[in-house]
Amino acid sequence: MKRALGSKIALYVVLSLGALFFLFPFYYMIVGSLQTKVDPSIGGAFPNPANLSVDNYVAINDRINLLQGLANSGIFTGGVLLGTVVFGVLAGYALAVLHWRGRGVAFGLVLLVQVIPFQLLMIPLYVMIARDFGMADSYLGMILPFFINSTAVLIFRQYFLQLPKEMFDAARIDGAGEFRLLWSVALPLVRPALLTAVLLTFIGPWNEFLWPFLITKEASMQPLAVSLANFISNIAASAANPFGAMMAGAVVLAVPAVVLFLLSQRYFTSNDIGSGVKG
């Protein structure tokens, strides 16, 4: 009994230390964004309340317009998420449930895309999007290269493969078509896959700065990550507190991602997908 209690206490201590170690950078980022004068010492992690204010947020907002940057990031990321979910679900369902000639080859191509870094495709994509399609300085030009995510296709395929075939066979006997099967039978059972695909896809475009910068130099259209990168490279040196301003911008950029994860993490539980089958 004492040994079990000691093991449980040791487990909680280790988990608590791990949580503190993981959360400390976020805490330090918030503290740094509120410091009026930079304190790079260890004591800076526990600042004097008199040295805290929101002046850094005001200063960086005057330079790059945080709300406009957030709106642009939302449009860019929202468009990518829409394409990821729609085409990921359709492609994943086709690769997992439907039987058609060339399915194995198509799946092999999806895997092949995984090993090609996006940086290798960036120059030809830029030439195609900006010169051939004439989509420079547009949200669509930013969104289109990320519209279909092969990782999301793999995630949906693996989840669809776990669904019992008997459910699909029973629905087909009742006269349901493939789109009805997808909407009414498959999708309600793969909510964890939807959330996983959304979260994994969200992080990429939300933090992407190089591709949107190539597509548009218009500050009014650039996502927040691009504006922050421009601030760090071109403007920060002239700011009264460049460290605090950068931390303030990083906090604004990080908050939506953290909130999305906190709202979604409770849904990351396995569904009892076998409960729909008798016997």
* pLDDT tens-digit readout, 208-256: 888 898 898 888 899 999 988 888 877 776 777 888 888 888 899 888 8
Q: Taking residues 177-181, report their average pLDDT.
A: 80
- Whether 227 maps to a domain, the answer reads yes
Sequence-separated (6 or more) residues with CB below 8 Å from residue 258: 26
- Whether 61 maps to a domain, the answer reads no
Q: Taking residues 141-161, report their average pLDDT.
A: 89
My answer on whether 45 and 77 are in the same domain is no
- Whether 111 maps to a domain, the answer reads yes
Q: Taking residues 110-135, report their average pLDDT.
A: 87
Q: Taking residues 56-64, report their average pLDDT.
A: 87
My answer on whether 162 and 266 are in the same domain is yes
My answer on whether 175 and 268 are in the same domain is yes
My answer on whether 29 and 94 are in the same domain is no
Model pTM score: 0.82
Q: What is the pLDDT of residue 268?
A: 57
- Whether 168 maps to a domain, the answer reads yes
- The candidate with the shortest Cα–Cα distance to 197, out of 105, 83, 104, is 83
My answer on whether 94 and 214 are in the same domain is yes
| Full residue range of the structural domain in which residue 258 is found | 66-276
Q: Which tokens sit at 4?
A: 């079990």
pLDDT tens track for 28-43: 888 888 888 877 777 7
My answer on whether 44 and 154 are in the same domain is no
Q: Taking residues 97-107, report their average pLDDT.
A: 86
**C-beta of residue 29 within 8 angstroms of C-beta of residue 250:** yes
My answer on whether 106 and 200 are in the same domain is yes
Report the C-alpha gap between 258 and 202 in whole angstroms: 11
My answer on whether 14 and 86 are in the same domain is no
- The candidate with the shortest Cα–Cα distance to 197, out of 258, 164, 148, is 148
- Whether 124 maps to a domain, the answer reads yes
My answer on whether 136 and 10 are in the same domain is no
Check which CATH number belongs to the domain holding 86 and give it. Answer: 1.10.3720.10
Question: In this model, does residue 15 exceed pLDDT 60?
Answer: yes
Q: What domain count does the chain have?
A: 2
Question: In this model, does residue 139 exceed pLDDT 90?
Answer: yes
Question: Looking at per-residue confidence, does 48 or 81 come out higher?
Answer: 81
Report the chain's mean pLDDT, rounded to a whole number.
83
Kindly report which listed range (80-89, 117-126, 136-145, 264-273) carries the lowest average pLDDT score.
264-273
Q: What is the pLDDT of residue 165?
A: 81
My answer on whether 14 and 80 are in the same domain is no
Q: What is the pLDDT of residue 78?
A: 94
Q: What is the residue whose two structure tokens read 């008997």?
A: 166
Question: Looking at per-residue confidence, does 274 or 148 come out higher?
Answer: 148
Q: What is the pLDDT of residue 273?
A: 43
Q: What is the residue whose two structure tokens read 């498959």?
A: 186
